[in-house]
Amino acid sequence: MARIVVTGGAGFLGSHLCDRLLERGDEVVCLDNLVTGRTANIEHLFGRDGFQFVEQDVSNFIWVPGPVDAVMHLASPASPIDFARIPIQIMKVGSLGTHNCLGLAKAKGATFHLNSTSEVYGDPEVHPQPESYWGNVNPIGPRSMYDEAKRFAEALTISYQRHHDLDVRIVRTFNTYGPRMRPDDGRVVSNFITQALKGEPLTMYGDGSQTRSFCYVDDQVAGQLALLDSDLTSPCNIGNDGEFTMLELAEHVIELTNSDVPIEFLPLPTDDPTRRRPDLTLARTRLGWEPSVALRDGLARTVEHFARELGL
């Protein structure tokens, strides 16, 4: 049993992580400034033994009284619509926020676990992407505040490991989806499902031939915990290596929602990655973990969630 700080713990991924940690008997201190996180994601945990929520912006100085065994730093807006809306906050939480969390971990003698991203690979020229690939990122493009903040966060994390001998984990999270995504978070899974459920056209950016590899949230959380429990201090991809075009995703969503909506083709955003798929060799061999939820099954559960959330 451990006492674990989860930043961004009221967010989509963070709240599922809090659930799993509590289920396995850990104590959780959840920090979130609720910019994109929602108390609705954690209200079922209020009053539960071992769970504490503190509304706090980790870009400012943080302190958690008492012992801490691990600091899991997930806090960050992560959707392309947030990139245009709150770019400075995204840079701050990735840089200053990571520094504060590293400082907390160092002071407590705790493991630091960074939630990094497949975005460190940018628009990749190597496919699929192994951890050894350095990436192809535009440093001043419309996604740069997220990509470069996460790249800085990885560099800072590895510097703490080398310079202070801090025990660290770096997970590169690939597109993750599932219940508790915000219906208006602007990402493709939430957009397509909510549009189909409301009988609106699906907004396809570009010709729909770009690919992504979608990981169901339960698999993502299991992978992250396998990494936390391992002794792997170098970056590790966690995702699902099934690769789909956005047109294929749209077909699945239309079928699963029994809808008959058309597809509306819109311009592709600047720097939108053409294709993305994790090379999971490291996770499979070192963590003994691999994803188990097929896209169709995960989408079906996500459709149920959005139908409830939209009151349909």
- Interface of this chain with ligand UDP, residues 164 to 183, rule: CB under 6 A: 175
How many Å separate Cα 42 from the centre of its chain? 17
| Contact region with ligand UDP (CB under 6 A), list: 85-93, 102-110, 160-168, 184-192 | 184-192
- Please state the φ and ψ torsions of residue 219, each to the nearest 5 degrees: -65, -45
238 contacts ligand UDP (rule: CB under 6 A) = no
17 contacts ligand UDP (rule: CB under 6 A) = no
Sheet strands (E) in 85-208: 111-117, 168-173, 176-177, 202-205
Q: Could you tell me which residues come within 8 angstroms of residue 109 by beta carbon, excluding any fewer than 6 positions away?
A: none
Continuous segment of H or E residues that includes residue 237: strand 236-238
Burial class (CB in 10 A: 0-12, 13-18, 19+), 47: exposed
Sheet strands (E) in 23-140: 27-32, 51-55, 70-73, 111-117
191 contacts ligand UDP (rule: CB under 6 A) = yes
Q: Which of the 8 DSSP states describes residue 41?
A: G
Question: Nearer to ligand UDP by C-beta: 104 or 239?
Answer: 239
| Contact region with ligand UDP (CB under 6 A), list: 2-10, 26-34, 203-211, 291-299 | 203-211
233 contacts ligand UDP (rule: CB under 6 A) = no
Active-site residue (options: 121, 146, 160, 216): 146
In 3D, which of 7, 141, 12 has the Cα closest to residue 87? 141
The site that binds ligand UDP (CB under 6 A) totals a number of residues, namely 14
Continuous segment of H or E residues that includes residue 212: strand 211-212
| Contact region with ligand UDP (CB under 6 A), list: 130-138, 204-212, 216-224, 226-234 | 204-212
In 3D, which of 159, 171, 196 has the Cα closest to residue 307? 196
246 contacts ligand UDP (rule: CB under 6 A) = yes
188 contacts ligand UDP (rule: CB under 6 A) = yes
Per-residue binding string, ligand UDP, 62-81, x by CB under 6 A, is ------------------x-
Active site residue 133: no
* Sole binder of ligand UDP in the list 204, 253, 261, 287 (CB under 6 A): 204
Shortest approach of ligand UDP to residue 156 CB, angstroms? 22
**Which residue numbers are catalytic?**
146
Applying CB under 6 A, which residues contact ligand UDP?
A: 80, 175, 187-188, 191, 203-205, 210, 212, 246, 268-269, 272
